[in-house]
Structure 1
């Protein structure tokens, strides 16, 4: 029996979407300061949305003086889950959103902070959609830059590929062997003039193996394993965006001239969610 394709909605104006922005984000009257001249764009992960993904990260960055903007992309029409549409189309949504941010704020470039798919997908935007001229820094939290095996939870992504491809095209495209991932990394993983930071956790149960996020070392690449900074920090995939240590590492990547050493405290593994 053929599986009907799912209709994916275009990302509408960020301030009228079904899912509200996280606290501190999408104040379209915000203008970047001299201290923080680039707006920060937050890109969520697969099956997530801008509110649940950035509930703590967004207000922390806003409090630090950044203009923060968050979008939903790749969403099912009428639904609240995002990041499941075809990734090339999702990258175009990110491109359009960044153009709106730049036009509204008057900034010349943005910085991007992304989680999971949202930390990997902007690389397609940089490489294929003219984003390299519009981005200074890309920070990926548990990004699947080399695809994912979909984790220690044995998610049934590959058991029924036709169904998965219809319901969640990005799930198939994020497999390590997919054409999307192969093309994304062909010809080099990074671009000159852009600063890349990756923060990964050894306890990651979705972007697996956890080393999938690490980019080829280079002068503009910083790969960080959370447990190398704080051995007792057990934050896994879903907790990483709200982990105080990870939030500090993001702030350090955005403003390395004023970096502050994170304060370590043991963080327990929470219930896994998608």
Structure 2
């Protein structure tokens, strides 16, 4: 059952109340076979100024844990465009991945701004019917002040109080039957305030002191992500 939602206009202090600290050891050591017949293919969605190679370490760990390469899609897109445009492309990528693997659902693992387009897809483009689990690693889900210094369309959408974010966070922040989880670091200097990452209705996890890009390569974050999507 989901937790109660908060208004999209809630202050950062109210969002901070959603943060749940989980620093326990991974449930399963990396290197063992975690992939099961019911496991889903994974679409990785990178952040602003990133590309599919950002996921090399995490994808390699999934392969070591039994995921076939055909089930791991390290997609690259134009991160300067509107996140709504990217969401349309996320929809197409999900359909391609489902067709290629014969699966009935996918999991989405996103980093930073990638959480916005993929969540737009779930909320507005019927994505919840095709996504079992959605993960946001260091996502500016309620905006970040670092976006004030860049001016691409996608950057303006990441600004605190933007029209894009107000619409995305209106009503239920985690709609549908998909499972939602976020990870945030107290040492992430790209996503400010830290409380921006957490979503009402999601499992919100505080990490150790990690930089923004280290969320992609940290072994504990990987293991927790793997275990969450592979329930």
Quick check: TM above 0.5? yes
Q: 2:91 and 2:66 mapped to 1: Cα distance?
A: 24
Counterparts of 1:181-220 in structure 2, within 5 Å, are 181-216=165-200, 218=201
Q: Which runs of 5+ in 2 are unaligned?
A: 1-34
Alignment match of 2:215 (pick from 240, 245, 249): 240
Q: Is the 8 A contact 1:200 1:225 kept in 2?
A: yes
Q: 1:200 and 1:62 mapped to 2: Cα distance?
A: 25
Q: Which runs of 5+ in 1 are unaligned?
A: 1-32, 76-82, 158-163, 228-233, 257-274
Q: 1:148 and 1:240 mapped to 2: Cα distance?
A: 17
Structure-1-length-normalised TM-score:
0.68
Q: Secondary structure at the match of 1:69?
A: strand
* Residue number in structure 2 paired with 1:122: 118
Q: 1:95 and 1:70 mapped to 2: Cα distance?
A: 15
* Residue number in structure 2 paired with 1:180: 164
Number of residue pairs aligned between Structure 1 and Structure 2: 194
Q: Secondary structure at the match of 2:98?
A: helix
* Residue number in structure 2 paired with 1:59: 60
Q: 2:42 and 2:94 mapped to 1: Cα distance?
A: 10
Instruction: Find out whether 1:68 has 2:67 as its counterpart.
Output: no
Greater relative contact order, per chain length (Cα 8 Å cut-off, separation 6+): 2
* Residue number in structure 1 paired with 2:41: 39
Instruction: Find out whether 1:49 has 2:72 as its counterpart.
Output: no
Report Cα offsets for 1:163-185 as digits up to 9, x if no partner. Answer: x2xxx210111111211100000
Report Cα offsets for 1:247-272 as digits up to 9, x if no partner. Answer: 1111111124xxxxxxxxxxxxxxxx
Report Cα offsets for 1:21-70 as digits up to 9, x if no partner. Answer: xxxxxxxxxxxx6445310110000011111x112011111221222111
Q: Is the 8 A contact 2:140 2:191 kept in 1?
A: yes
Q: Is the 8 A contact 1:110 1:137 kept in 2?
A: yes
Deviation for aligned residue 1:95: 0.8
Instruction: Specify the structure having the higher radius of gyration (Cα).
Output: 1
Q: Is the 8 A contact 1:199 1:223 kept in 2?
A: yes
Q: Is the 8 A contact 1:139 1:197 kept in 2?
A: yes
Instruction: Find out whether 1:171 has 2:155 as its counterpart.
Output: yes
Deviation for aligned residue 1:156: 2.3
Q: Secondary structure at the match of 2:175?
A: coil
* Structure 1 residues 55 and 34: CA distance shift in structure 2, 3 A: closer
Structure-2-length-normalised TM-score:
0.80
Alignment match of 1:222 (pick from 198, 203, 210): 203
